[in-house]
Each structure stands twice: as structure tokens, then as C-alpha cells.
Structure 1
Amino acid sequence: MKVLIVGLGSIAKKHIKALHGQGIKDIYALRSSRDSLPNENVIDIYSLKEIENHDFDFFLISNITSKHSEIIEQLLFFDRPLFIEKPVFGEVNSMNSALVKRISNLNVPTYVGCSLRFLDCLIEIKNLTKGSIINEVNVYSGSYLPDWRPNSDFRKSYSANKELGGGVHIDLIHELDYVYWIFGEPEATKSAFSAKSSLGIDAYDYAHYLWEYKSFNASVILNYYRRDSKRTLEVVTSERTYLVDLLHNKIFQDSKEIYSSQQRIIDTLDAQMEFFLNNVLTNKITSFNSIDEAYKILELCLQD
């Protein structure tokens, strides 16, 4: 199997490791410059023209989010399945909406990478709460942006710069994605964003969403400035309260631990790649976080 990756940042390197875990070694990268630093695990190519010389099985899009639509538009010519790193685009506009519709009309298999759908505790809580009367959902994800890439200046990162499409609401769209996946599409939404913390960045470092469902509300709080990382999901049902600790892959029912897994969040990238290869690529299953679904979640993410 032969894969072309667009964008060789930190997440691409994690995808490369996941590809190796599936026995795939024939990996190419479309580079923006011949001065780009080489990666021993990939073969570099430098133009779209060179793609014609290879029979790639799929394209993996992991460049800067603001450039997703441009490169996807160019790659559609080659009629290959697309694995797109989240978020699918940096903004919602008529051009991106038309591109999503075009991809659907062309029946191009797509998957947008939100790997928390493969975290054991979230799969378990989805099953545990199925059919329950839910009264309240609370999601919290707080971490310290400078710790994300300790060997580089966080202020220069994509995440910290609004003009590059950064911001905690986009970076942590995983949380919105799994709420949508577990509980469905909300009937109404409200949101608040700000960049007021001591980080001193122009991208949003705080986001708060309130999603209204027929019989309950879901609150989602995201931030970049919490030094003691916390990532939790609380589900209050008519009979019991569940607390899901994503960082430790555990579930508590009324404060008592009822589920635990040794899997960690980084491991979900392997499960995600296995799913993509066996389902989207091989069997052309496109009902699981396709570009259509991911674009709907992006619309919810960016609504004021």
C-alpha cells in the first residue's frame, strides 16, 4: 500500500507511526520546498505533477488547517480516498460548503480524524448511557499550551495564532465531536470565546459551549491555560451520575470506579488508522465522521 501525506508536522509524524503499526512502509510526503528537513520514514515529492507517477491508495491531509480546502481541491483530480486531520477546514464559508457537496457528489470516500471516538472509556459510556434519561452533560478539557510542544516557542505555533486558524475551540474540537457522536445533534447552541489569559496570545484560549437537547443541556468548556491537565465528561442521568476521566481512561459511577482501560489517548491513533484502512479504504464505509458530518460539527464549533 502506498500513501501520500500532505504536511509533515507533529500530528503527521504520529500518523506515520500508526501507518507503520499497520505494516505500511511505502509513505510519501508532498513538500512545499526542497529545503524542507527530510524525514527518514518518508520519500519526498515536490509537486502535484509527480503524483501522476505513483499509484497512491489514499491521501492523508495534515497540513495547516487554513490550507486544507486548497489542497483537497487540487487532490480531487486524482480520485483517491481522503483521510483529513481535524478540523476539516478553518472556517465555514460558501466555498468550503460547495467543496463538501462536490466531494459527496463524486462519492469520494472521506474520513476526518477525531480519534477520541476510539477511546475505550468513551465507547463504554456511549453504551452505558444508551436508553438512559439524561438530565445534564458537562464536558471539561483544560491543558497548558506551552507544554504541548516543549522544545518550541508556543507563541509561534499554529495553535496560538488566530490568522493561521488556531484557537482552543478548533484544537479541541475533539470534545464537540464526541458529544455529537454520543448524544447527537443539538437543537440549539450558544457559545462564548475569549483570549484574556496570562498566555498573551491572540487566538482564543477559552471557549464555552451550551448545547441544548430536547430533555437536557450539555456544557463544554475548553481552555489552553490550565497547568494541571483535566479532561472529563460527566453524565447526570435520572438514576446515577457517571464521571469519565479521559486522561486515565476510567469511568466512575456515583464516585465508585466501574471501568478502567490501559489504553491512553495517544493509542487511539492506532485504532483510528486501523478503522480507516479496514472500513473506509477497503469497504468504502463513509457513514462514520465523513467530511459531511465533520463539516456539520465545524459549523456548530464556529457558531457564535
Structure 2
Amino acid sequence: MTFTSYFDGSSAAGSLALPRLESTGGRKTSALVRGTGSIGARHLRVLEQLGVDTLYVWPVRPGASLAERPDIPATAELVDAYPEEPLDLVVIATDTRRHVDDTLEALDRAPGAVLLEKPVAPAAADARVLLEHPRADTISVSAPLRFHQGFAVAAELLPRLGRITSAQVLSQSWLPSWRPNRDFRASYSARKEDGGVLRDLVHDIDYPTMLLGAPTQLRSVLGSGILGIEAEESADILWDSPAAVHLRLDYVTPVKTRSIRVATDEGALVWDVVRNRVALEWPDAGSGSVGSVEAVFGDDADVDTVLARQSLSILQRAGIDGGTSMDRFRPASLEEGVASVAICDAARTASASGKAEKVVW
């Protein structure tokens, strides 16, 4: 097979219908979202669009009202405790420092599945109680980059491209533009105990480990001083698994960049998340130039569509059939979510020590 025919032969590159929960055998479906911040509200909208029959929303603050929350579906029922009836899905979308306790409370209600927003916890050790829970296998960790069709194609093609020699991962943005109507210095991102670029951009740690394997040790340099926040503003992480892998994560770049470039002994694969494209490159021996071919996946640009794929995939794995098969995607398990947090922990330790540090969890 030639490079130019790889996309034609990719099962993951085929058309993908808009996610919809349809084939449920006539049973009613239900979900509860804990937390009503921007991501909690988005989960509610996505679940409504997906076709979940009954939605519950449980704010963190007692007595909170939804009267002035047009971003939350009017069909969502406001509650201040778990309903008595069984739930198919519970989404934990509270602050990171609450994640473990809120997830334990959800597990007590034995829902079909729990979707825990990233990161799992401020530190990997905090999540041990979840790993030891008898229903730990019902927990998935939100990792929407896994549900980009571009990523599914990249993951399918990479093993065909020869031996990996190096990889560069970039995730760069400008924190003040994340929430334009709010002082970024007062956001959770700025807090040292549960914010920082490592925790915020843990998605960009998760997907390279899925593609390339997780490190057992790493080196790191963390940066600060540009934005004037307590938490780290940038991280350069280097590990060797299976070859040299370099991650650059930062809050201090106004021109947004998000991509991975994997070099092999035959060519290179590039997944550009911002431009929703996957490209293959190879040396043209005859001309001395570089040949390339690419595919663009426009639906990946829609955040709601990507989150709907994730939610539908989790519901399907919990035994609820859906109208659109999500077989090409795989949710992040609790173990994988904790492993990503452990990489964050090791990066902080390695930056402080100036040495390679083991990833422990």
C-alpha cells in the first residue's frame, strides 16, 4: 500500500453520522449532571441533543436557581440530591478538588456509568480510593480529543508507517482569552493546588500516551512569570517511550496551536487539531522533495458533536444501544485518567529536582 492510498483503506476515515441515541428497546434513558459551570451546562445540552429522555441537573451551591441560565436546557430538572430512580449516566463536572468525593457519592447510587471530567484529581494519590472501589470499571474520564475522527484515523494509520523515531506534541493557547468575561487570575486555572497548565491540558498528555505508550520516567521544565498566576503557565516534558517524545504545553501563546507530529523511519504523521486535519508525509526519492497527502474532518470542529460521540460511546459500553456505532472510538478508563495525572505529578517533581523522575501511581 502506498502513502496516498492509506486514507482510502482506513475504516476510521469513513463517513460518520451525527451521534444519536435511538435503539434503546423502548426504555426511557436518564442522566444527571453534577455541577453547572460552563462544562456542566455543555454536557446537559449535549445529552439533550443526543436524545436522553430525562435530565437532572444538580448545582454545587445549595439553593441555586436556573432562572437566568439560558445555557442550560429548559427540559433539565433541578435537584438537590440524587433521584430515587436508577440513572444510566452521571456526569461529574465540579471543581477538580471535589472530583473524588463527588464520584464516590455517585458510585453509591450505582448508575450505569459515570463520566468524570478531567483531571481525575489534583494528584494521582488522591484517586487511589477510586481505583480500589468495586465499581471502578464503570468510571470513564472525559477525554474528548479521543473522539475526534482525526485522532481515530491517526491511531489506525500510525502502526503502518514504520518504526517511530520521535514525536512532538504542542498545545499552546492564551489563558486570558479562555474566559473573556472573567478575570483569569480568579479562575481555577490560576490556583496552584488544583489548576495549572498540566492539569488543564491533561487531554494533551492522555492522547499521546494512547498513541505512543506511557512513560515510566520523564524530565520536565515548568515555566511561570508571564501571566502572574500561582500555578505553572508552561511545561516542557521529555520522555523516551518508544522514542524521544517532547510535549510543549502552555497558556502563554496568543496564536493557538494543538498538534502532534510523529516521525518514523518511513515518513511522518501529523494530526493538527486546530485545522482538523491528518497529513502523511514521505521523502520523494526521485525529486528529493517531500510528498504529502491529507484528509480534513470538519465535524471535529464542533465541540458538541465530539462530546456527543463520547457520551454515546460510554452509554453503549454500559449496555444501552445507540443509533450510531462508536466502535472506532475508545473512552479513557479511570486507570488511564489517573496515569495522566501521575505524569503531571512527575513533571512537577522533575522540574523541581532537575533530574529524571519516575511516574508513580
Above 0.5 in TM-score?
Answer: yes
Shift of 1:252: 2.6
Query: Which runs of 5 or more residues in structure 1 are unaligned?
Result: none
Give the Cα separation in 2 of the matches to 1:297 and 1:42: 32
Q: Structure 1 runs of 4+ off > 6 angstroms?
A: none
Q: Partner of 1:295 in structure 2?
A: 338
> Contact conserved, 1:29 with 1:45, CA < 8 A, in 2?
yes
Give the Cα separation in 1 of the matches to 2:139 and 2:273: 26
Which of 133, 137, 142 is the matching residue for 1:113? 142
> Contact conserved, 1:28 with 1:43, CA < 8 A, in 2?
yes
Q: Partner of 2:311 in structure 1?
A: 273
Which of 295, 298, 323 is the matching residue for 1:262? 298
Q: Partner of 1:85 in structure 2?
A: 117
- Give the counterpart letter for 1:27 in structure 2: L
Give the Cα separation in 1 of the matches to 2:250 and 2:278: 22
Give the Cα separation in 1 of the matches to 2:108 and 2:198: 32
CA pair 190-282 structure 1, distance change in 2 beyond 3 A: farther
Give the Cα separation in 1 of the matches to 2:274 and 2:339: 27
Which of 115, 127, 130 is the matching residue for 2:159? 130
Q: Partner of 1:159 in structure 2?
A: 189
Give the Cα separation in 1 of the matches to 2:215 and 2:275: 28
TM-score, normalising length from structure 1?
0.89
- Give the counterpart letter for 2:254 in structure 1: R
CA pair 259-154 structure 1, distance change in 2 beyond 3 A: same
Q: Partner of 2:57 in structure 1?
A: 29
**Mapped pair 1:225 → 2:252:** yes
Q: Partner of 1:177 in structure 2?
A: 206
CA pair 106-244 structure 1, distance change in 2 beyond 3 A: closer
> Contact conserved, 2:142 with 2:331, CA < 8 A, in 1?
no
Shift of 1:52: 4.7
Give the Cα separation in 2 of the matches to 1:126 and 1:292: 20
- Give the counterpart letter for 1:144 in structure 2: W
CA pair 60-124 structure 1, distance change in 2 beyond 3 A: same
Output the aligned Cα RMSD: 2.1
**Mapped pair 1:46 → 2:80:** yes
Q: Partner of 1:9 in structure 2?
A: 37
State percent identity of aligned pairs.
26
> Contact conserved, 1:111 with 1:280, CA < 8 A, in 2?
no
> Contact conserved, 1:250 with 1:257, CA < 8 A, in 2?
no
CA pair 96-244 structure 1, distance change in 2 beyond 3 A: closer
Give the Cα separation in 1 of the matches to 2:340 and 2:318: 20
> Contact conserved, 1:109 with 1:281, CA < 8 A, in 2?
no
- Give the counterpart letter for 1:233 in structure 2: I
> Contact conserved, 2:172 with 2:257, CA < 8 A, in 1?
yes
Give the Cα separation in 2 of the matches to 1:275 and 1:143: 29
Give the Cα separation in 2 of the matches to 1:126 and 1:2: 32
Query: Residue deviations 1:65-116, cap 9 Å, x none?
Result: 11011112222221122111111111122x52133112xx335511111010
Question: SS at 2:332's partner residue?
Answer: coil
State how many pairs are aligned: 293
Shift of 1:208: 1.3
Question: SS at 2:107's partner residue?
Answer: helix
Shift of 1:280: 3.5
CA pair 29-161 structure 1, distance change in 2 beyond 3 A: same
Which of 244, 251, 256 is the matching residue for 2:278? 251
Q: Which stretch shows the higher mean deviation, 199-208 or 255-264?
A: 255-264
Which of 79, 92, 99 is the matching residue for 2:130? 99
Give the Cα separation in 2 of the matches to 1:107 and 1:161: 28
Question: SS at 2:132's partner residue?
Answer: helix
Q: Which stretch shows the higher mean deviation, 151-160 or 188-197?
A: 188-197
Question: SS at 1:162's partner residue?
Answer: coil
Aligned residue runs from structure 1 range 197-212, under 5 A: 197=226, 199-212=227-240
> Contact conserved, 1:116 with 1:122, CA < 8 A, in 2?
yes
Which of 69, 75, 80 is the matching residue for 2:106? 75
